[in-house]
Structure 1
Amino acid sequence: MKAIVIEEAGGPETLKLKEVPTPKVKPGWSLVRVKGFGINHSEIYTRKGESPTVKFPRILGIECVGEVADTTDAQRLPVGQKVASIMGGMGREFDGGYAEYALLPNKQIYPVNTNLSWAELAAIPETYFTAYGSLKNAHIEAAKNLLVRGATSGVGSAAIKLTKAMNPSAKIFGSTRHEEKFDKLKAIGCDEPVLDKDGQVQTDEHFDTIVELVGPATLNDSLAHLNQFGYCCMTGGLGDQWTVPNFSAFVIPNGACLTVFESGKASSDDAFNDMLNIIETHHIDVKPTKTFDLAHTGDAQAALEASDSFGKMVVLP
């Protein structure tokens, strides 16, 4: 099979298209014929050598969609079943989705029933499930307003679109460091784009719900804009910072909740298909910003890294 193999840390050019043996099934694992996968910031960090537990050579990719090609669970995962998979060690502890085939643990292969195209479905797993889980953890259904911190990212865009379906009355604010992206945010349903400048969101507004995708770099500022009894869900690390120095729990407003969401620990067949049902019932536009073929996976990562990046990049092998 063809796969994108990385043998040493570096730039996008380290992602090499190679011919490698197609994996064979083993107990508890099944083989997925990959039809598409999204590009994620965590994969870029790994490519740069910023994931110390990942050993090279490795096939990256923390998500994929496709069809079961060979199975060890014919009842739940029959050959030909349309599936999605996210996290759980993909592309880190074992080879991931940047390939024509992926050998994956049955417990993290989720059967899906959908009429979406492969490009649309490939844009969903990690991005939309992370947004969906973050919004659920942050009680979006009860919120009068929402701030998405890092709104122009794939997860940020997904959070805006999902909120329109899950709580149409909520006023949505979305932050970005680039004022020229305001119109794009409005086009996907953001009511009030706000500028993120030097780690501070440029608004006096306070929020019932905050989805924090920039991460520890802006967490304290986000908490300063959280309402009493509000919810802040820290999910991303777009700010490339992983700890909050000298963090004090007393910065959390009275009665408010600071929580997190990790897709790999919350996935299930039902949860994933509940999210898909919302997407299809409400006709949410999940088309990726741009698609690439397998040979140009490095270009897809470079596009995501670019300062004018917006939304989701997808590869169709």
Structure 2
Amino acid sequence: MRGVVLTGPGPVENLELRDLPIPEARPGWVRIAVRAFGLNRSDLHLRLGFAEGDVPYPIVPGIEAVGVVDAAPDSDLEVGQQVAAMMGGMGRAFDGGYAEYTLVPRAQVVPFRSELPWAVLGAVPETLQTAYGALTTGLDLRKGQTLLIRGGTSALGYATAALARDLGATVLATTRQRDRLSTLAEHGVDHPILDDGTVAGRVREVVPEGVDAALELVGTPTLPDTLASTRVQGTVCFAGMLSNTWTVPDFYPIGYIPTGVRLTAYSGDAADLPAPVLQRYLDDLSTGTLTLGPTHTYPLSKIQEAHQAMENNTTPGKLVILP
């Protein structure tokens, strides 16, 4: 099979397209013929050397993939069945989804049925899992509430906006590029906001008391301003690091967190995206009642180009590779 190997932390040239042996099937694991996989920020962090723990380089990266079951010994899954796989050590503890076949534990596999193109399906699993989990577990967002998304033109930003609107919330979302404000509006954002580093004042022009909930996707550089945009007893959920900065030096909670504002975090797994939830949103995508934002596709041979686009933040929405 063809697969992408990351030889070690460094530039995009460390991602090498190679001929690799197809992984051997074994009980408790599922071999998937990969039809598409999405690029994620954590893949970039792995390449740049920011990943936590001991990564066994060289490794096939990729924390997600969609495809069909190729082999599943002693499993409830059938050969040919459509599945998504994500997290659980993919592309970290063992080879991940950047290949024509991947072998993952059964617990990380979510079955589904859909006639959507693989290019669309490849954009869904990890983005949907994080958006759904952040809104439910991280923020407990309710119908009629207001939500601020810091980093709105990321794949996760678009997906979260779509799910929040489907829930009945009013959505504010930020972008640092003026020409993307109209794109946010076209994808259902009620109040696009140009982010020059400080948005709390503009947020409170729309919602004077502050938003009910805020999703921080940029990272710790903008987190204080996001907290300042949120009302007393409102909630901010930290779930992304587009800035590649996720720690707060000399953290003093009383001085850092505004009085009465709640700060949470979200990081989920395959189990946090139950099969019925995935199926429901795929059905909504197929009928056109839901859109998760723009998608840009690349062949496997263009993995370096795609990673460079992700690193430079030059392409809004989700980047998907079609092996």
Contact 2:159 2:293 in 1 (8 A): no
Distance in 2, Cα, partners of 1:275 & 1:257: 29
Where does residue 322 of structure 2 map in the other structure? 316
Please say if residues 236 and 262 of structure 2, whose CA atoms lie closer than 8 Å, have aligned partners that are also in contact: yes
Cα distance change, pair 146–9 in 1 and its aligned pair in 2 (3 A): same
Instruction: Give the 3 Å change call, closer, same or farther, for CA 270–285 of structure 1 in structure 2.
Output: closer
Q: Does 2:245 correspond to 1:241?
A: yes
1:94-119 deviation line (CA, Å, top 9, x unaligned): 10000000000000101112222111
Cα deviation digits, residues 259-316 of structure 1 (max 9, x gap): 2221226243344334435545662234752111111111111222234320011011
Match for 2:311 among 291, 305, 315? 305
Cα contact 2:294–2:318 (8 A) shared by 1: yes
Question: How far apart, CA to CA, are the structure 2 residues paired with 1:231 and 1:177?
Answer: 23
Tell me if 1:225 matches 2:236.
no
Q: How does 1:1-317 map to 2 (within 5 A)?
A: 1-53=1-53, 54-75=55-76, 77-137=77-137, 138-167=139-168, 170-198=169-197, 201=200, 203-205=202-204, 206-250=210-254, 251-253=256-258, 255-264=260-269, 266-280=272-286, 283-286=289-292, 288-317=294-323
Aligned twin of 2:207: none
Paired amino acid for 1:195: L
CA distance in 2, matches of 1:253, 1:275: 35
* Structure 1 unmatched runs, 5+: none
User: Helix, strand or coil for the counterpart of 2:142?
Assistant: helix
**Does 146-155 or 21-30 show the bigger shift?**
21-30
> 2 CA distance for matches of 1:276 and 1:307?
27
Identity of aligned residues (%): 38
Distance 2:124 2:245 in 1: 25
Q: Matched residue of 2:202: which SS?
A: coil
Count of matched residue positions in the alignment of Structure 1 and Structure 2: 314
TM-fit CA distance, 1:68: 0.4
Counterparts of 1:93 and 1:188 in 2: how far apart (Å)?
A: 36
**How far off is 1:255 after superposition?**
5.0
Is this contact kept in 1: 2:193–2:199, CA < 8 A? no
Distance 1:74 1:94 in 2: 20
Whole-angstrom CA distance in 2 between matches of 1:136 and 1:313: 25
Evaluate the alpha carbon distance shift between residue 112 and residue 159 of structure 1 in structure 2; reply closer, same or farther with a 3 A threshold. Answer: same
Deviations 1:233-272 (A, max 9, x none): 1111112112122334435455543222212262433443
Q: Alpha carbons of 1:221 and 1:17: their partners in 2 closer, same or farther (altered >3 Å)?
A: same
Structure 2 CA distance, aligned partners of 1:162 and 1:204?
Answer: 20
Aligned CA-pair RMSD: 2.1
Q: TM-score, normalised by structure 1?
A: 0.91
